[in-house]
Amino acid sequence: MYTNDTILKVRYAETDKMGIVHNSQYYIWFEVARDEYIEKLNITYKQLEDKGIMMPLVETQCKYLEGAKYGDEILIKTSVTEISGVKVVFNYDVFRNSDKKLLAKGKTIQAFVNSNEFKIVNIKKKYPEIWKLFENL
């Protein structure tokens, strides 16, 4: 199973009054990490959309274990734990890079949909060339 590493630095604007990263930021980080992961397949969201495929989120979750703080360098390890012709499940482990402390664990599920009708599409059948890219995860 392929795992992609994304490194980010916590910006001041991402923190709350308590001095830790606001919970909503983790979902933005997940998107950044997921985007990098997909680019490693030699395809971008833009290319998928140009082919008429979109990947809306259908489920998200995050378990916060310890707060990240301004200035921390964050390492997000992204992997795919399940894939079918109609959906893909990404997992995220968020670490403070300096001490490798696990700060959060997350998961997102995306469906493959046709951008014209926004209906679920089986990319394995309808877009075999795209499926081959995802299949090699």
- For 19-38, write each residue's pLDDT tens digit: 999 999 999 999 999 999 99
Q: Determine the Cα–Cα distance for residues 7 and 48; give it in Å rounded to an integer.
A: 25
Indicate the average pLDDT of the chain: 95
Q: Are the C-beta atoms of residues 61 and 94 closer than 8 Å to each other? A: no
Q: Is the CATH number 3.40.50.720 carried by domain 3-135? A: no
Residue 94: burial class (beta carbons within 10 Å; 0-12, 13-18, 19+): buried
Assign 133 a pLDDT band (cuts: 50, 70, 90).
Answer: confident
Q: Is 103 helix (H, G, I), strand (E, B) or coil?
A: strand
Residue 107: burial class (beta carbons within 10 Å; 0-12, 13-18, 19+): middle
Give the pairing of strands 101-111 and 57-64.
antiparallel
- For 49-88, write each residue's pLDDT tens digit: 999 999 999 999 999 999 999 999 999 999 999 999 999 9
